[in-house]
Amino acid sequence: MNTTSYFASSSRRARRPMALLVAGVAGSWAAHAVAQPAPTCEGEACEPAGVNAAAGAQPAPDAAGALGDSSEAVVALEAEALAAEGPEAEALVDRSNDVDALGELTGRRWTLKGKVTSQTTGYLVDRDAPGEGQGWIGEVRLELNAQLSPELSARVRPWLLLDAFDPDVLRYEPLEAHLDYTAERWDVRVGQFIESWGIVDTVNPLDILNRTDLAVDALSPPRRGEAGVRVRAHGEGGDVVGQPSVGLYLMPLFRETDFPSEGSRMRPRPPGGVLVPAKGVRPDGAEALLAAIRAEHTLSTPWLNADVQYILARGPSHAPALGVLPQPDGSLQFAPDYFGTYTVGGGFRAVPNGRLSALTFKAEVAYVRPYQFAAQSGGLPEDFLRLAAGVSRSFVLDSAAELNVNLEVLGELLADDALAKTRLFGNDVAVRLAWAANDPALTALEVRAIVDWQDGTVLGNLVARRQLLALHQDLQLELDAQFAHVGDDTATALPSNPTALIGRLVFAF
C-alpha cells in the first residue's frame, strides 16, 4: 500500500506536505453488497458497507435511497400486507394504516424508516493506554420521505452517533436534507445529499463528491452529506446508447474531513509528532467551490451491455496532505493542508453476451492534477492516475444458497514523488467471497482480503450475519473478525494494531 515515513524529507522545511492521510481508506476498502450496484446510488444505499457490508441487492440507477419514491413505497407496503397471512399480515396492515393516517392529515404521502445500531469492539492488542483495547458505539438513523406534489419531493435523514470511549465522536446532524423537483426531461436537487459515483467494490477513484468520517471508522468510514445543487438533464437515447443524462453539481460549502482525535484508538501515528486537525491550510472564499459534470448512459451492443459514466471536476480535495509544524521545544506537529484538484475520469460496469454472460466486468480510472490554494506555500503532489478494475460472478449453489466471488486489482501510475508512496491501494489485489442463504433468517457469511504485493500488508475480515427471528423479525446480529498485518511502508498511514472482534445488534423499523 505504498506508504513511507512522514519523514520522507527534512522537518526543517516547515509546512511541506508529507503524506496524504489515509486517502485510499477514505474511499473505503470494502464492498457494498453481494449483488453489484448500479453506477449511481443515493441516500442510505450509498453508505460504505466496508467490514459492515450487508448482503443483498443494491438499488437500480438513481434509486431514491433506502425507501425509494414515497408513494411507490406505500403501494408496495399495501400489496405486501394483502399477500401476507396471520400475524405478519396484521403487522403490515398496521404499518400501512399508520402511513395512510399521516397522509390523510397532511394531504401528502409520507414514509418513515430507521435503524438503531449498538456496536461493541474488542481490540486484540492494546495500543498506548489502558482502555484503548475496547470500544462501544451507539447509532440511530432515520429517513423521512415526503411526496409533496407529483413533481416535488423531500427527504430528511437525521443521524445520531456517539462513542462511549471517545467523547470527541459525537454526531447529531442530518446526513441528508434536500428537495427534489422532477420534470419529464430534467430534475433539480437542492440541499445536503449523498451520492456515490463508485463502480468497483474496494476503492473508488471516481467517488469524489462526499467526504468521509475517519473519526467514526478509519477502515470503513461513513459518508457525510455535502450541501449544494444538482441540475440534471435526461435524453431519450437510442438502441445503442440509451438513457443518457448529464448532471451539473455546484457544492459551494467546504467542510473538513473528520480525523480521529489524539485520544482515539483509530488515530494515525506520525513518527515524532502528533496530528493537530485544527491547524493547516483550508480553502477560502471561491476556493471552496466544488464544480463537477457527470454524464451517464447505457451501452447495448451484440457483444455486451454496459452502464458507463464520465466525470469532470474541479475543487478542494477531501484527502489533504500533512504539513509539518516544528515547535519551539523541538517537537513536531502535523496539520492537514487541503489543496485543490482537477479530476477527469470514467468507468463502466459491463456484462458480456454469449459464453461470458455469467461474468460482470467493472473498472474506474481517474486522472488527478493538484493545484494550490492562495494560502499554500509548500509543495504539491505530482499528477497521478488511479486505477481500479475487477470481475465478479455469482454461483447458485442450490435452491437454498448463493455465492458471489469478486476479484479486483488496484493501482496508481505516473507520480514518482515522496507523496505517491504514501497513498494507499497503489499496488493491491482484493478478493471477496460472499455467501448468502435463502432462509427466513437471511443468514450470510462474507470473507475479504486485500494484499499489497510490494510491502506485504494484508487487511482482512470475516463477517457473519443472521436475523434473530426468535426475538424480533427486524433484529439482526453481526459478528465481525477484523485482521491487519501492516507492512513497514504502511505503518504510518493506518491505525496501529486494528485487529479486533466486533459485535453489532441492528434493529430496523
DSSP, collapsed to helix, strand or coil, labels residue 73 as helix
Q: What are the Cα distances from residue 466, in Å, to 23, 33, 140, 435, 437?
A: 33, 15, 20, 12, 10
Q: Report pLDDT digits (tens) over 215-273.
A: 888 778 899 999 999 999 999 989 999 999 999 999 999 998 888 877 677 776 655 56
pLDDT reported for residue 53: 32
Structural contact between residues 166 and 154, judged by C-beta atoms closer than 8 angstroms: no
pLDDT reported for residue 279: 79
Residue ranges of domains in the chain, CATH in brackets: 17-508 (2.40.160)
Q: What are the Cα distances from residue 343, in Å, to 69, 299, 367?
A: 32, 24, 6
If one counts every other C-beta atom within 10 angstroms of the C-beta of residue 185, the result is 10
pLDDT reported for residue 457: 83
Length of the chain, in residues: 509
Q: Which of 226, 20, 267 is nearest to 135 (CA)?
A: 267
Q: What are the Cα distances from residue 86, in Å, to 82, 89, 90, 92?
A: 11, 5, 7, 10
Q: Which of 500, 467, 477 is nearest to 118 (CA)?
A: 477
Joined grid coordinates for residue 177: 436534507
Q: Which of 122, 309, 281 is nearest to 209 (CA)?
A: 309
Sign of CA dihedral 276, 279, 280, 281: positive
pLDDT reported for residue 169: 87
Can you give the C-alpha Rg of the chain in angstroms? 23
pLDDT reported for residue 379: 73
Question: Which one-letter DSSP state was computed for residue 264?
Answer: -
Identify the segments of the chain with pLDDT beneath 50: 1-39, 48-93, 96, 100
Q: Which of 255, 286, 292 is nearest to 374 (CA)?
A: 286
pLDDT reported for residue 273: 63
Task: Give the global pTM.
Answer: 0.79
pLDDT reported for residue 25: 35
Long-range contacts of 76-81 (CB under 8 A, 24+ apart): none
User: What is the spatial distance between Cα 456 and Cα 126, in angstroms, rounded to a whole number?
Assistant: 23
Exposed, middle or buried by CB within 10 Å (0-12, 13-18, 19+), for 184?
Answer: exposed
